[in-house]
Structure 1
Amino acid sequence: MGRALKILLVLILLAALAAFAGHRYWQSRLAAPITLDETTLYEVPAGAGYHRVVNELAEQGVIADAWAFRLLTRLEPETLPRLRPGEYRLEPGMSGRELLSLLGSNDVVSYPLTIPEGWTFRQMRELLDAAPKLEHNTDGLSDEEVMARLDREGRHPEGWFFPDTYRYHKGLSDLEILRQALERMEATLDEVWAARDDDLPLESPYEALIMASLIERETGAPEERPEIAGVFKRRLERGMRLQTDPTVIYGMGERYDGNITHADLREATPYNTYVIDGMPPTPIALPGRAALEAAVHPEEGETLYFVAKGDGTHHFSRTLREHNNAVNRYIRNR
């Protein structure tokens, strides 16, 4: 073997060793922990390319060896994740490879939004309007226009949105939250109505929704809901007016200041069940599942009246005399 050939082989060997060492070093830079001391939020902007994200991460001091990440596009393009827009929570100690995997996942940062049982649709809209990092596509729209956007044109919105905690990520639209809550309520109402008692004085799922909203607004004590439903059922069957204060309040709208007067009880609004027969024309709040269940499974009994005791529960009475005594005890004396 000639001297020149030996030198060539040595050079090839040295080049191979250098390439191997270089590749190992490059891989070690990708596997090294990112340079963060605390949890940090990073947002992948919509439409951002891989190189833009790498440059931003380097500028923000998240990664120290941007060159190692840029080389991926040349040496291992098949390993590059498809970046997904959204906010991500970067943790100290995660490797560069783990960082890239995270930015291509669905593990975006989400935020809770809780719609309490018994709230009105107006209150729900106000909460959505104030939610940070949510796209406010319903801003300036009337309730009627919102329902049209949800493909429920002509439907009164009250009662049709299931109260619960929903999670959203930055950039999600308030319409998407509304659609989730709407479809959840429709599915729940259909399920509950299908399993209803046979002897209800209710003719449709919508009447059950109205009844559930009255029950929801009358009590926050879960154990009372079936008994309140039973009182309402018996009053309807006997042709008695429901005479429930929350309907008066709903009919007053923004005029309600926390007090109901005798004049308010006599005011003829479509919702005042001291004046109208039967139930109001629409729900008056967003009922939860327990109230829906109570509406279709009212408790049997003989009570026809109830009055708030001041502790969140009610006193139930069978006769008007007993009820008046309870009113004296719990309302007038207080």
Structure 2
Amino acid sequence: KTYSKFTADYIYPVAISVHTDRIGMEYPMICFNGGRPEKDGTYSERSKYGMIGVITHEVGHNFFPMIINSDERQWTWMDEGLNTFVQYLTEQEWDKDYPSWRGKPRNIVDYMKGDPNATPDKVKARIEPIMTNSESLQQFGNNAYGKPCTALNILRETVMGRELFDHAFKTYCDRWKFKHPTPADFFRTMEDASGVDLDWFWRGWFYTTDHVDIELADLRYKRMDPRDPLLAEKEKRGDKSREVPDLSRQRNIDANLSFVVDRDPSTKDFYNSYDPLTATEREVAAYEKWKKGLKPEELALLNVDLHLYELSFKNIGGLVMPLILEWEYADGTKEVERIPAEIWRISDEIS
């Protein structure tokens, strides 16, 4: 039922799952799924979810490639990857806490970042793009199952949204059932049915070995200058109070050093006694005069205490992705903001 909801109607008369002691293998309308309990009837958590997962996956092959009949020898990901993705959707509808092995972005990180112990030029020596012939893959499972499944999950949840993705994906399945689609047919149908340009997504996820690594490169705090000398005085005094004391000055005071200006008052003048932080009458008068020339809407802005933060990001990993920010406010509330991937269209550095 779940597969049909996301793909196309199941038209075969039966779907048989044969319980075996090991492995899983699919054929039209019948599959063999391994995983036996202990002799006393008990079973481990791993055995339980492994059994559910392999049945879901192998029965799912009745859809990929038995209905949507792609060439699994040429493009394994169109068979195993798409099937693993719908398997993930099915598992998540089985139980909200289902421990899916593939599909969650965090589970593909170690594969996509490569070998951290290798030299810089060899970090990704054992990784090929998804769009690589099956016979040339070094890490078959991650390349043909895990990465395509994760890519489609991210496309659904973060890039397109569930409603639009599900419509486009089902359109692909309906359009190409009992036919022989190629990768181009899948890419084109997803864009055609959704009306969304996804060239950048296919290029990054399917044709490169780039990974997601977005750096928060800089953070700047800004606020509007109200030009109020009395307010400026208050802020300057606050800044002054937070200054780290000058070590030489403090030690001279602690040593009761006799200063020249104290021994001989004639060396003092106006500048020894005035407070440079105090707003002058002239400054206050000039400010009041300036305010009178403002429009009502401009005057209203002076009373808005805005705090501005400028964040600068760099795309280090190379894979173009939406920018996801979580804002945490002083009252403890949080807000997630998702900025579309188009923000990177001009440069790998943005603010």
TM range (shorter): under 0.3
Under a length normalisation based on structure 2, what TM-score does the superposition of the two structures give? 0.25
Q: TM-score, normalised by structure 1?
A: 0.26
